[in-house]
Structure 1
């Protein structure tokens, strides 16, 4: 079953999660899955649950994109192992595109001329992949505008 809870106060959500986990009725060794917006919330939530309950075990805290990709890939056997839009995959795609972009964007070319060039290229690909990953989560409207040629 999938439930969605939202609130502006993370402490209240953590309290609600502790209550729900306590009365879930699931077997004690059954894993529970809780989607989180980022790894920081995952760590905080694990510590908060452990403080209140004494232990926080057998809990999975995937990010939404990863969770839904895994769900999709188990439902559709012909799907690839990972999404092209996962941050790690996107980093490699951007790394491959950066030399071409350097020819079109002088600021990129200037940055990539620094030494060590391959490290700078990798770091820029990493930063861009992180930005696009954040856009996929928080700024889908901007991505839709770019795709439509607006902005």
Structure 2
């Protein structure tokens, strides 16, 4: 696996250089190309830019596929083999966070969260709101991971 480091002052020129590199098919067509980006917004922008160049026959009808975007932290954990051991990964943090949410819903500081999850509501509305537990905990775990 080759490592290419590019840096510059203009993101559009860097995206063009990346598109030129990715336009050359790899030896293994099923191996993803790994691209490191600093934020999700850059990932979305870069995906859109690359889709205008990669696989495009006429104009802007291409697609950006086979590219795995990672954050610098995700790359380090992948290279060190600690990607399954990191307790701050959202999928790892989710379960302790769910436990903390369940034990803290009666606390004063968690009043807004308890109301959002329908903690003291009965009936269909309470059950519907209680069904948000997993998605709320997953969202919070993602935010905590982003802060790290």
TM over 0.5: yes
Please provide the CA RMSD for this pair.
3.3
Structure 1 pair 52–63 and aligned structure 2 pair: CA distance change class (3 A): same
Three-state SS of the structure 2 residue aligned to 1:68 is helix
Structure 2 unpaired stretches of 5+: 57-63
Q: Deviation string for 1:94-121 (max 9, x for gaps)?
A: 1011122224334144444142264233
Rg (Cα) greater in structure: 2
Which structure has the highest helix share of the two?
A: 1
Instruction: Report the more deviating stretch, 12-21 or 125-134.
Output: 12-21
Q: Calculate the TM-score normalised by the size of structure 1.
A: 0.60
Number of residues of Structure 1 aligned to a counterpart in Structure 2: 127
Conserved in 2, the CA contact under 8 Å of 1:29 and 1:58? no
Q: Which has the higher contact order (CA 8 A, sep 6+)?
A: 2
Query: Which one of 3, 6, 10 corresponds to residue 5 of structure 2?
Result: 3
Question: TM (normalized to structure 2)?
Answer: 0.61
Deviates further, 60-69 or 50-59: 50-59
Large movers: runs of 4+ above 6 Å: none
